[in-house]
Structure 1
Amino acid sequence: MTDPDERRIRVVLADDHTLFRDGLAELIQTDPAFQVVGQAADGDRVLALVPVLRPDIVIVDVEMPGPGARAVVSRLRQVCPEATVIVLTMHQNSRIVQELLDCGAAAYLVKNIARDQLIAALHAVHQSPRNVLLSVSRETLGHGEQTEGGGRPLSAREMEVLRLTADAYSNSQIATRLGITEATVKRHLSNIYAKLGAVSRVDSVRKAMAARLINPVIDSGRNGRPPE
């Protein structure tokens, strides 16, 4: 008799937030077509798991510990080419979207996607892995050539996060200092990247300095960063 699990679509999840990962696993498995066979909290772990588990779909976040999203997606396509890679993130930056699609991601979805849309997207990429599926705003697609400092103005909270980022604070340190959650810090960073047309923390600081939004960091050892 055939094992019913053999007919299910096997999924591996990679995100550094355990609570989000667990909730996502439960959500996906409300559809009996899917089975979450593994979870990882960083890029190195998902790269180790996937060749062993041989999933049909791998869902990865953009910002998690490890080698970085572009390296993870590229490597996943090498070590398990039969697996379809889906990026599920808070980031809506046109450069990041294009770079990860170029690395081999089959879909780029934002985390505010509805449950039914997510399930439909998983079915779509599994059935047609050669097609590209996007769930981003029109504004994201329309501002790929945004000039430095030429986007929407940063909010007061985003400026606080940006200044602390420039002072080399980690996400957890920023969260503690501002009395917010680390997930909120990541959301602010995502907004900062989108508004500045940046692709990373370093790039956002560089562009903010070029646009004179913040002062150049002269001595990172004397800028008020707390000891590690």
Structure 2
Amino acid sequence: MPRTPTGAPGRVRVLIADDHTLFREGVAEILTAAGGLDVVGLAHDGEDACRKAAELSPDVVVLDVEMPGIGVRDSLPRLLRSCPGCHVVVLTMHDDVVLARELLALGAGAYLVKGSTRQELLSAIHGVVADRGPGHVLLSVSQRELDRVGREPADRLSAREREVLSLTADALSNAQIARRLSIAESTVKRHLRNIYGKLGAVSRLDAVNKAVAASLIPAPRSQPRA
């Protein structure tokens, strides 16, 4: 596997977790060739990913869904606890919006099927590092899956989630919502991730439109921020 110097200012440190050696080394080559990215480690299962994330403190973990040992629903939260501040890009064979909702709600910053292009992978990595917020979560699934989920009734939002989304609809920023509700900005972001998961939304505007259409919140007085 090609390795590059670590710790250089402005460079993004990436840990790749996948149980297929050829695949993870191929992803490592793609990222190294792109420039600006340092592959600091490779992991072969969920336990290994959590251990190496705690040890190496990467900026981004590219995480496969199906690996031996602990499942992604356990490894993803553990990984985020073991490496506070790191971001997770899920890369999977599963073209499944329902699974994408669940993993985004658990804290993943992007969900990509393995049929995605290298540019989509690079965009996802740079996007989560830039911390562009829940409105810029990258979701890559097929139109067939989106259509299927679009025909299903939306999960109900909690009272707090409806409050957050109503304020989002009124074009308030995350910081303004946090002040209005006397909660942390990180809590606002977590509520938005949960909302996105429940509604199958990929942006603030998309979430607001879907919630209004489902009569979960009133129509906004102004245009929500993108």
TM-score with structure 2 setting the length: 0.60
Deviation at 1:141, TM superposition (A): 2.4
2-side partners of 1:112 and 1:20: how far apart? 13
1-side partners of 2:43 and 2:17: how far apart? 5
1-side partners of 2:89 and 2:126: how far apart? 12
What is aligned with 1:82?
Answer: 85
Is 1:20 aligned with 2:23? yes
2-side partners of 1:103 and 1:141: how far apart? 20
Preserved contact between residue 84 and residue 129 of structure 1 (Cα < 8 Å): no
- 1:135-146 alignment to 2 at 5 Å? 135-144=140-149
SS of 2:111's partner is strand
2-side partners of 1:18 and 1:51: how far apart? 21
Is 1:43 aligned with 2:27? no
- Compared with structure 1, are the counterparts of its residues 4 and 69 closer, same or farther at alpha carbon in structure 2 (3 Å cutoff)? closer
Equivalent position to 2:109, from 98, 101, 106? 106
Bigger Cα displacement from structure 2, 118-127 vs 3-12: 3-12
Equivalent position to 1:31, from 19, 31, 34? 34
Aligned residues: 145
What is aligned with 2:66?
Answer: 63
- Compared with structure 1, are the counterparts of its residues 31 and 95 closer, same or farther at alpha carbon in structure 2 (3 Å cutoff)? same
What is aligned with 2:125?
Answer: 122
- Compared with structure 1, are the counterparts of its residues 87 and 145 closer, same or farther at alpha carbon in structure 2 (3 Å cutoff)? same
1-side partners of 2:149 and 2:78: how far apart? 25
- Compared with structure 1, are the counterparts of its residues 4 and 78 closer, same or farther at alpha carbon in structure 2 (3 Å cutoff)? closer
2-side partners of 1:130 and 1:77: how far apart? 17
Bigger Cα displacement from structure 2, 8-17 vs 131-140: 131-140
SS of 1:108's partner is strand
Deviation at 1:25, TM superposition (A): 0.1
Preserved contact between residue 106 and residue 129 of structure 1 (Cα < 8 Å): no
What is aligned with 1:52?
Answer: 55
Preserved contact between residue 14 and residue 59 of structure 1 (Cα < 8 Å): yes
CA RMSD in angstroms, aligned pairs only = 1.9
2-side partners of 1:75 and 1:129: how far apart? 23
- Amino-acid identity (%): 44
Structure 1 residue runs of 5 or longer lacking an equivalent are 148-228
Q: Please tell me the residue identity of whatever aligns with 1:100.
A: L
Preserved contact between residue 95 and residue 141 of structure 2 (Cα < 8 Å): yes
Bigger Cα displacement from structure 2, 68-77 vs 50-59: 68-77
Deviation at 1:81, TM superposition (A): 2.2
What is aligned with 1:169?
Answer: none
Q: Which has the larger radius of gyration?
A: 1
SS of 2:38's partner is strand
Deviation at 1:145, TM superposition (A): 8.1
